[in-house]
Structure 1
Amino acid sequence: MDFLRPTTLDEALAAKAERPGAVPIAGGTDVMVELNFDHRRPEALLDLTGVGELAEWSRSSGSDGEIRLGAGVPYTRVITELGGRLPGLAMASRTVGSPQIRNRGTVGGNLGSASPAGDTHPVLLVTGARVEVASVRGTRLIPATEFYTGVKRNALAPDELVTAVHLPEATGPQQFAKVGTRNAMVIAVCSFALALDPDRAAARAAIGSAAPTPRRAVAAERFLAEELPWGTPGPLRDSLKRRFGELVAEATEPIDDVRGTAAYRRHALAVLARRTLTWAWNDQQERSPSCA
């Protein structure tokens, strides 16, 4: 197995073009596990840790406040440097592995693996993120909703690398929750993300580890957009939260495996949906001037 160590993005893209079978490695939190268990034996590893361009984030100068998050920025920096701007992503990042894993693992690596159980995927879906990918042929942006194509499959061409993720700054409450034997250091049995946009009276909801790919719960989103009492103070009706949970569960396509049954995943996601909606709505109530 060859080990390639580019020091610039141009070198990395050239190496990937020349060796499309080379597997990118940054934190190595997924790739090294597969290698250690002999689940994968690629022709080459493409080490991206020396590519400084991938390890930075920036904020656009426009009014939209979009964040460009380099594919090599570790979860720890997402938590400490972007928690206020990208609260949902920071919440998900806190549940990834141990502190050592969070110091190494990256959102770019999560995207490259494209596991249905990846913790950041539901958040990328509800925030309307776009995945920046590049090759020697140029750069393109792929909406997160189009990036996941199957179990551990994505929309990358053989010669492309994930270089960044573009996410808008939060304009309303965001929540993330997952079910596992504990909050971190486990693969999610199922996970859920929710984002409310009170200015547009809109909501986005997404599930993880309960279908072949991470996916949005579109019917549940439409229900919230129509039924949430936007701008009106007070708690939500239990019937509204219960129906939202039911619609989220209906959006799933889970399987039975060693971590949980399909029936348990549906039930758990309905519970997570109700809980995160309550938390997000309470957060919105605290933000709203009319409720002050």
Structure 2
Amino acid sequence: MDFLRPATLAEALSIKAQRPEAVPIAGGTDVMVELNFDHRRPAALLDLTRIAELREWEAVDGSVRLGANVPYARVIDELGDRLPGLAMASRTVGSPQIRNRGTVGGNLGAASPAGDTHPVLLAAGATVEAASARGTRLIPATEFYLGVKRNALAPDELITAVHVPATGAPQQFAKVGTRNAMVIAVCSFALALHPARQRVGAAVGSAAPTPRRASAAEDFLSGELTATGRWDSPEPLPDPVVRRFGELVAEAASPIDDVRGSAAYRKHALSVLARRALGWAWRDYSGKVA
């Protein structure tokens, strides 16, 4: 196995063009597990840890451009006010050691259906920045996940950043697991309010072959909030509306039975998570508007 260690992004993209089979590695929290269990034996590893520009974030046109190698710990410490949902999800990832090494970019590259940050990126309307020697393109998060551990990257592309809208409006993330940390989610849910567009973003994780948006739930709740004028006057939400939202979130999932939980349990849990997350987010929104 070759170990390739470029010092710049341009050098990394050049190597990736010549060696498209090279597997990128930064924090290594996914790749090293696969190597240690002999689930994967790539011809080459492409170490991205020396590339300084991948470790930075910046505010750009109302969004945060988050470099692919910014670790979860920095998302929590530095971006909790701008990207609250992503910070919440980052707090649930592994142990402190994992949060210091693991990255949102690595989570995207792995494209696991159970990745904690995926539902947040979908609900927030994020886009993935992919670069190659041919140029750079933006891929909407809704088009990035193609299947179990499959993504929309071309063989010669690397994830360089993810662009996440920073609306300042409430967001929530919640997951169910056998414990609070060091555990793969049985299921997860993310919610983002977009008052400027009078839209709600909602997405589920670990409950389908890919993370996915709960589009029917989004449309239902967005329509209810707009029709009743609650975006401007955020009165308490009627219980039937909250319950119907939870039902539609559960219907968006297509889970399986496995060692972590049954399909029926996942659907039930998603409904509960959606109702709770909506309650928390709406309480926060009501306080901000008032």
Kept after mapping to 2: 8 A contact 1:29/1:101: yes
Distance 1:284 1:265 in 2: 28
Q: Which residue of 1 aligns with 2:12?
A: 12
Aligned mates of 2:196, 2:132 — CA distance in 1: 37
Hey, what does 1:267 align to over in structure 2? Answer: 268
Question: Which whole-Å CA distance do the structure 2 matches of 1:183 and 1:239 have between them?
Answer: 30
Q: Which residue of 2 aligns with 1:135?
A: 132
Deviations 1:88-135 (A, max 9, x none): 100000000000000000000000000000000001101111100011
Cα distance in 1 for residues equivalent to 2:31 and 2:197: 41
Instruction: For residues 1-59 of structure 1, give each alpha carbon's deviation from its aligned partner in whole angstroms, at most 9, with x where no partner exists.
Output: 11111110011111111111111000000000000100000001111101111101111
Q: CA deviation at 1:226?
A: 1.4
Instruction: Kindly report which structure 2 residues correspond to 1:37-116, keeping only aligned pairs within 5 A, or say none.
Output: 37-60=37-60, 64-116=61-113
- The 3-state SS of whatever aligns with 1:274 is helix
Please say if residues 81 and 168 of structure 2, whose CA atoms lie closer than 8 Å, have aligned partners that are also in contact: no
Matching residue of 1:252: 253
The one-letter code sitting in structure 2 at the alignment partner of 1:231 is D
The one-letter amino acid paired with 1:32 is M
Deviation at 1:168, TM superposition (A): 1.3
2: CA distance, partners of 1:226 / 1:137: 42
For the pair 1:209 / 2:179, whether they are aligned, the reply is no
The Cα of 1:241 is off from its aligned counterpart by: 0.9
The reply to whether residue 122 of structure 1 matches residue 122 of structure 2 is: no
The one-character-per-residue Cα deviations of 1:52-106 (angstroms, maximum 9, x if unpaired) are 111011112xxx4211100000000011011111111000000000000000000
For residue 233 of structure 1, report the CA deviation from its aligned partner.
4.1
- The 2-side partners of 1:261 and 1:280 are apart by 28
Which segment is superposed worse, 100-109 or 50-59?
A: 50-59
Shift of 1:198: 2.2
Partner SS, residue 119 of structure 1? coil
CA distance in 2, matches of 1:233, 1:113: 39
Checking the alignment, whether the CA contact within 8 Å between 2:234 and 2:285 is kept in structure 1 is no
AA paired with 1:190? C
> What is the total number of aligned residue pairs between the two structures?
286
Q: Which moved more, 1:170-179 or 1:112-121?
A: 170-179
Q: How much identity, in percent, do the aligned residues show?
A: 77
AA aligned opposite 1:177: A
Q: List structure 1 runs of 4+ shifted beyond 6 angstroms.
A: none
1:201 is displaced (CA, Å) by 2.0
Residues 87 and 170 in structure 1, CA contact (< 8 A), matched pair in contact too: no
Q: In structure 2, which of residues 180, 187, 192 is the aligned counterpart of residue 183 of structure 1?
A: 180
Once residues 35 and 222 of structure 1 are traced to their aligned partners in structure 2, the CA distance between those partners, rounded to angstroms, is 42
Task: Evaluate the alpha carbon distance shift between residue 135 and residue 236 of structure 1 in structure 2; reply closer, same or farther with a 3 A threshold.
Answer: same
Question: RMSD of the alignment, in Å?
Answer: 0.9
Q: Separation in 2 of the partners of 1:142 and 1:74?
A: 21
1:236 Cα offset (Å): 1.7
Quote the Cα distance in structure 2 between the aligned partners of 1:234 and 1:184: 35
Structure 1 unmatched runs, 5+: none
Q: Deviations over 1:229-285 (max 9, x none)?
A: 333343222111111000001111101111111001000000000000000000011
Secondary structure of residue in 1 paired with 2:183: coil
Aligned residue for 1:186, secondary structure, equals coil
> Residue 288 of structure 2 corresponds to which residue in structure 1?
287
Aligned-partner Cα distance in 2 for 1:187–1:93: 13
- Partner secondary structure for residue 145 of structure 1: helix
The secondary structure found in structure 1 opposite 2:241 is: helix
Give TM-score, length-normalised by structure 1.
Answer: 0.96
Does the 8 A contact of 1:128 with 1:167 survive in 2?
yes
How far, CA to CA, are the matches of 1:170 and 1:97 in structure 2?
Answer: 27
